[in-house]
Structure 1
Amino acid sequence: MSAATDRTATLYRMVMPQHTCPFGLKAKALLEREGYTVDDHWLKTREETDAFKAENGVRTTPQTFIAGERVGGYDDLRRHFGKPVADPKAVTYKPVIAIFAMAALMALAASWAAFGTLAPVRAGEWFIAIAMCLLAVQKLRDVESFSNMFLGYDLLAQRWVPYAYVYPFAEAAAGVLMISGALMWVSIPLAFVIGTIGAVSVFKAVYVDKRELKCACVGGDSNVPLGFVSLTENLMMVAMAIWMLRYVF
């Protein structure tokens, strides 16, 4: 067998008028990055796809074959090349890190646009307010799902269920008002109240009751563990509310 043949892989993937399989595209790109020439076979209809699955005894596509041996789907291909495969159920802080990083960059950009410099105090204020807005967006994507997770640990929501639905809107309103500097008589007590209740709830659930829960801070479908990050989010709101009092008095 020639060296060229050794570096050839056969890929079967769905490419239909209404659907192109994203994992098929990823598998093809991965094979090419690994130096393989790809013999790319398109499954152009549902019937053709079902026939391929039945013939090869597989449940999904894409499917990759190397040196006549079936490697499997995209995750199997990653394992074949010794690359990590993400566990969709694993806990992770990535969503929170991404939100805080983007909030920081947006705050610095706003400071530069407004003042022509990276004003640390104003940028810090905007960072917290923008982070509140971005976190609220994650909750507002699916308020029902958020409320289900939130009710698992928030003390006020457990006593008054509508609060679980009010919270995302309250957080968003406080964040927007703090960015604008308007209606501080609304934003300051709002941030202080929801932040305080949240901090107490998280502290009790995690550090007193020792419960292992997922945090609703980035929405009801998150795998972010309830703990330090959740407590920090709420304490930031409390600190921001207290800090903003300097503009009132």
Structure 2
Amino acid sequence: MSSTSEPRRATLYRMVMDTHVCPYGLKAKDLLRRQGYAVEDKWLTSREATDAFKAEHGVKTTPQTFIDGERIGGYDDVRRHFGKAVADPNATSYKPVIALFSMTALMALAASYAVYGTPLTLRAAEWFIAFSMVVLALLKLQNVESFATMFLNYDLLAKRWVPYSYIYPFAEGLAGVLMIAGALNWLSIPVALLIGTVGAVSVFKAVYIDKRELKCACVGGSSNVPLGFVSLTENLMMVAMAVWMAVAASGVWAGATHVM
């Protein structure tokens, strides 16, 4: 003989309108169900109904969750109720760059496999840096104005010549694209060497000499990545790539793209 227990119940009030379905309401409903709750899903189908609900319960936002007649609150409050972490939008994090470099590394390995039949080539290492430069430039180009403002906090050349802060993401992207193609080395090498060297010196001075705590503009002007190791690595990678390509172009390292 099997016994079944009645599922715990929660009441969720969320906005469901013709032109808007609240994403946090959907998240709250999914979380409650995953926690084993039967959800009484109450829709607020108009702005008037939503405003009346807020006034009645003295809240400023929806969705709102009630468990056993007690108001738990919005989506973040429900997460806290179940002991789950709540992201701080203002907290610094390395997650964006970890995700970025992980994906560009996989892209480089995939490209190497497609071209050479194996992911482990020196060309894959070159592509990893070049792909990273292009993706980093793309993130900056989403909002050049925001990037330039953040960049001016620490870049030594940009402080002396403000237009450089607007040119930088275009130069980085151009150098990366040319390095992927292996074309116009006479242009890509000096560009990468210049912006990488200036960037590395600027970051080192700001972080390790002046001891300033700043956010890095490396992944765009809205990032919460702390200025330091990541930005320094980005710039040193560009310098290393430029030097490597210059040496390879001179013929000293023949067969630089051979399989490892």
| Structure 1 length-normalised TM | 0.97
Matches within 5 A, 1:180-219: 180-219=181-220
Instruction: Give the aligned partner of residue 246 of structure 1.
Output: 247
Are 1:4 and 2:6 counterparts? Answer: yes
Match for 1:93: what amino acid? Answer: Y
Name the SS for the 1:39 alignment partner: strand
Counterpart in the other structure of 1:90: 91
Partner Cα distance (2:110, 2:236) in 1: 24
TM-superposed deviation, 1:4: 2.5
Deviation at 1:120, TM superposition (A): 2.6
The one-letter amino acid paired with 2:10 is A
Which runs of no fewer than 5 residues in structure 2 stay unpaired?
Answer: 251-260
Q: What is the identity, as a one-letter code, of the residue corresponding to 2:43?
A: W
1:99 paired residue number: 100
- How far apart, CA to CA, are the structure 1 residues paired with 2:120 and 2:246? 19
Gaps of 5+ in 1: none
1:108 aligns with 2:94: no
**1:95-130 residue CA offsets vs partner (Å, 9 max, x unmatched):** 111110010010011011111111331110000000
CA–CA distance in structure 2, aligned partners of residues 136 and 42 of structure 1:
43
Alignment partner of 2:98: what SS? helix
Query: 1:119 and 1:179 mapped to 2: Cα distance?
Result: 16
**Equivalents in 2 of 1:230, 1:172: separation in Å?**
16
Cα distance in 1 for residues equivalent to 2:12 and 2:243: 60
2:258 paired residue number? none
Any idea what SS the aligned residue of 2:16 has? strand
Alpha-carbon RMSD across the aligned residues, in angstroms, is: 1.1
Give the corresponding residue for 1:68.
Answer: 69
Distance 1:71 1:245 in 2: 62
> SS state of the match for residue 113, structure 2?
helix
Task: Give 1:170's aligned residue.
Answer: 171
Task: Return the alpha-carbon distance in structure 2 between the equivalents of residues 219 and 229 of structure 1.
Answer: 13
Task: Supply the distance in 2 between the matched residues of 1:108 and 1:15 (Cα, whole angstroms).
Answer: 45
Letter aligned with residue 101 of structure 1: S
Q: Please list the CA deviations of residues 16-41 of structure 1 after superposition, one character each: whole Å capped at 9, or x if unmatched.
A: 11111110000000000000000001
Determine the C-alpha separation between the residues in 1 that align with 2:114 and 2:43: 49
Look up the SS of the partner of 1:20 in the other structure: coil
For residues 248 and 156 of structure 2, the distance between their equivalents in structure 1, rounded to whole angstroms, comes to 31
Percent identity reads 72
Displacement after TM superposition at 1:245 (Å):
1.3
- Cα separation, 2, equivalents of 1:232 and 1:48: 53
Question: Whole-Å Cα distance in 1 between the matches of residues 181 and 48 of structure 2?
Answer: 57
Q: Which residue identity does 2:210 align to in structure 1?
A: D
SS at match of 1:37: strand
Which structure: greater helix fraction? 1
The CA distance in 2 between the partners of 1:106 and 1:25, in whole Å, is: 33
Amino acid at match of 2:15: M
How far apart in 1 are the matches of 2:36 and 2:106? 37
Structure 2 Cα separation of the partners of residues 94 and 83 of structure 1: 19
Kindly provide the amino acid, as one letter, of the partner of residue 233 in structure 1. Answer: E
- Normalising by structure 2, what TM-score? 0.93
Alpha-carbon deviation of 1:3?
5.3
**Number of equivalenced pairs:** 247
